[in-house]
Each structure stands twice: as structure tokens, then as C-alpha cells.
Homo-oligomer: A and B are copies of this chain.
Amino acid sequence: MRISQLSETTGVPIPTIKYYLREGLLPPGEQVSATRSVYGAAHVRRLRLIRALLEVGKLPISAIRAVIEAVEDETKGVHEMLGTAHYALSPKTEPEDTDEWAAARAMVDELIRERGWRVEPAAPGRDELAQTIVTLRRLGQEVTLPDLRPYAAAVGGLVRDHEMSRIPFDGPRETAVEAHVIGTVLYGRVLDVVRRLAEESESARLLADADGLAE
């Protein structure tokens, strides 16, 4: 398959494919002569993955590159590889050096502890969650451990019973990370959209009738 066909198959313009090649997101095709390379099914897959992470996941190119580098680093064990890819999916957050931040972070650690979760002490998600709590508080919303528990409970079961089962740990390592990344990003989106639908519905239930009568 030549670059023009790769472009047609995936709908990604040729200049953009060249850009991804330059950026190292897409491995070069098999160079068959100075001005001709051949691309295969793996390239189509990879290109679709890139677009999904970009468009649905809104990940920056640099994060996508990090994910891809994790996949291609053969020296890593499967768990380490998943971890690297996973961390690349987290937005960077700088811890603030304030008391309110420390308090929020302590609450996060306590939540993880009481659920018995195995999460690295340095996991970026800890700081990210702490930061979100601080932001909520600054906006006047109190957040306590009991507020967080239902979220952890709801999501814990979901991940255990439905997300992990989709990952083919027995297949080639590349397939496993890919499925993991897809699961994290795309099902993250699913969860988010479904939640917004549920909110609309609850809001309608609580308010639409009242509005209709009151106005």
C-alpha cells in the first residue's frame, strides 16, 4: 500500500500522514526504493488509533507519542508498559504548596487506602484529584470523603467487571496496550457522555414539570 492509498483508506490527508511520520507517531513504511515506501495494515491501525486519541481523547501529540513509545519499548514488562502508557494519558498537574492542597491530597490518599487500591504513591492521578478537590472548594463546594466514596464505588466495579475483561492479556503485547489505551480513553468518553445524559434526564424530572406549571 502506498501513501496515497493509506490516506484514502483512513481519510487522513497525505500531508498530515507525513507530519505524523516526522513526529514519530507513525513508523516509516518499508522503504522499497528512494522514492517509494510500502505501508500495511499496521499503519492503518496505528493511524486510526492516533486519530481516536486526538479527536475523542483530545490528547496532545506529545502524549500520544509517549503512549506509542511505551508500546515499542520491548524491554518493559506488560505491567510497566501499561503503566507508562497510562500515565501518559494523565494531564500534568503541578502540586500547589499550600495547606488546602495538602489536605485534599491526604483525603485522596485515604480514599485509595480505604478501598485497598494498589496505586503508586507517585501516580499522577493522586495529584490531579487533589487539585480538582481544591478547585471545587475554592468555588464554594465542600468536598468530603463521603462525597467521594460513591464515585470510587461506582467506578471500581465498572473497571473490574467490564473494562479489564476487554483487554487480551494473552495476545501480543502491542494488542494489550492498545486495548488498554482505547479502553481508558474511549470508555472514559462513554462514561462522561452517559453521565451528561443522566444529568439532563434528572434535571428534566426535577424541573420540567415545575417550570411548566409555574410559568
A198–B148 contact, CB under 8 A? no
Q: Is A63 positioned at the interface, with any CB of B under 8 Å from its CB?
A: no
The 6 A-B pairs at the shortest CB distance, nearest first, are namely A79-B207, A117-B201, A77-B211, A118-B204, A159-B198, A154-B154
B190–A78 contact, CB under 8 A? no
A121 vs chain B, min Cβ distance (A)? 12
Q: Is A12 positioned at the interface, with any CB of B under 8 Å from its CB?
A: no
Q: A202-B159, A211-B79 are in contact. Are A135 and B186 (CB under 8 A)?
A: yes
Mostly, the A contact residues are helix
Which B residues are in CB contact (< 8 Å) with A157? Answer: 154
A86 vs chain B, min Cβ distance (A)? 6
A-B contact pairs, 11 of them (CB 8 A): A48-B139, A78-B210, A112-B197, A119-B197, A129-B193, A136-B182, A150-B162, A151-B187, A155-B194, A184-B196, A192-B192
Q: Could you tell me the distance between the alpha carbons of A164 and B205 in the complex, rounded to whole angstroms?
A: 11
Partner of A155, one of B56, B129, B191, B203: B191
Q: Which residue of B lies closest to A195 (CB)?
A: B155
Q: Could you tell me the distance between the alpha carbons of A125 and B100 in the complex, rounded to whole angstroms?
A: 35
Number of copies: 2
B159–A129 contact, CB under 8 A? no
A163–B199 contact, CB under 8 A? yes
Q: Could you tell me the distance between the alpha carbons of A132 and B194 in the complex, rounded to whole angstroms?
A: 11
A193–B154 contact, CB under 8 A? no
A interface residues, how many (CB within 8 angstroms): 85
Query: Please, what's the 1-or-0 string for A171-215, where 1 marks a CB less than 8 Å from any CB in chain B?
Result: 000000001101110111111111111111111111110110011
Give residues of chain A (105-122) contacting chain B, Cβ–Cβ below 8 Å: 112, 117-120
Give residues of chain A (130-156) contacting chain B, Cβ–Cβ below 8 Å: 131-133, 135-136, 138-141, 147-148, 150-152, 154-156
Centre residue among A118, A155, A210 by max chain B CB count within 10 A: A155
